[in-house]
């Protein structure tokens, strides 16, 4: 009886997750097509980039560099592996560690594939405040950062926090993601479409990873509430 309840609940969650993930991926595909057709930024991309370049100040550049560094591929990979090891040990669950690594790693691999599939050029090197080469879409920093923050939130407090806590945590992650996106735009290495694409891909990765964690947890505890 309990097994049937778990299966039913997991099925409903899976359907909702599939629908939401599909919507995010469709949106990602639409933005990817726009980036692909533009080749080197849409009209809106150029206007947004010009605005950010105009806002540069000596006192603002250092914090933007810090935000960019802490959301880099190496930084996020290190944080993900460390968090996976610690939370896996704390929960006494290899599954938790695997889900964290798979969510972040999966987002990174898919993002890299999309980068080379779309092949969108970055903004002109003349506006770069950091050296950066390679395809632009989607932003890896936004993808990695959001995937890590989202899956850690799901593993640490998912299912155990009230709506208020969940809403507050979502808001914090949202603000942090915007900060990462702004840093990449400010530094002149990404277009607006790139960071939007990264947010969509990162969100999809979090949905899938969180669903996998809930299914694993429910089957392990025999609870489907």
The domains of the chain are located at 2-224
Environment class of residue 14 by beta-carbon count within 10 Å: exposed (0-12), middle (13-18) or buried (19+)?
middle
- Nearest C-alpha neighbor of 125 from the set 199, 49, 48: 49
Residue 7 has pLDDT above 70, yes or no: no
Q: How far apart are CA 220 and CA 217, in angstroms?
A: 5
Q: What is the mean pLDDT of the chain?
A: 88
Q: Say if residue 54's pLDDT is above 50.
A: yes
pLDDT, tens only, 110-161: 999 999 999 999 999 999 999 888 999 999 999 999 999 999 998 888 656 6
What confidence tens digit (pLDDT) does each residue in 201-213 have? 999 999 999 998 8
pLDDT at 215 over 90: no
Q: What is the pLDDT of residue 1?
A: 43
Q: With cut-offs at 50, 70 and 90, classify the pLDDT of residue 218.
A: low
Please, which residues have CB within 8 angstroms of residue 46's CB and are 6 or more apart in sequence?
A: none
Burial of 222 (0-12, 13-18, 19+ CB in 10 A): exposed
């Amino acid at each position: 009886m309990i097994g049937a309840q778990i299966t039913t609940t997991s099925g409903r969650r899976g359907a909702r997750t599939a629908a939401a993930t599909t919507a995010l991926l469709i949106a990602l595909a639409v933005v990817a097509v726009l980036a692909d057709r533009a080749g080197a930024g849409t009209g809106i991309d150029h206007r947004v980039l010009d605005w950010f370049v105009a806002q540069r100040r000596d006192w603002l550049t250092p914090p933007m560099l810090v935000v960019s560094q802490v959301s880099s591929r190496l930084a996020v990979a290190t944080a993900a592996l460390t968090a996976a090891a610690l939370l896996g040990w704390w929960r006494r669950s290899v599954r938790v560690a695997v889900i964290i690594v798979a969510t972040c790693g999966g987002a990174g691999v898919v993002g890299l594939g999309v980068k080379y599939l779309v092949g969108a050029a970055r903004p002109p090197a003349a506006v770069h405040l950091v050296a950066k080469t390679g395809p632009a879409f989607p932003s890896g920093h936004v993808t990695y950062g959001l995937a890590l923050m989202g899956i850690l939130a799901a593993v640490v407090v998912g299912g155990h926090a009230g709506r208020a806590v969940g809403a507050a945590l979502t808001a914090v992650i949202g603000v942090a993601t915007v900060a990462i996106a702004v840093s990449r735009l400010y530094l002149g290495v990404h277009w607006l479409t790139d960071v939007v694409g990264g947010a969509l891909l990162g969100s999809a990765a979090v949905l899938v990873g969180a669903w996998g964690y809930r299914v694993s947890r429910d089957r392990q505890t025999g609870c489907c509430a």
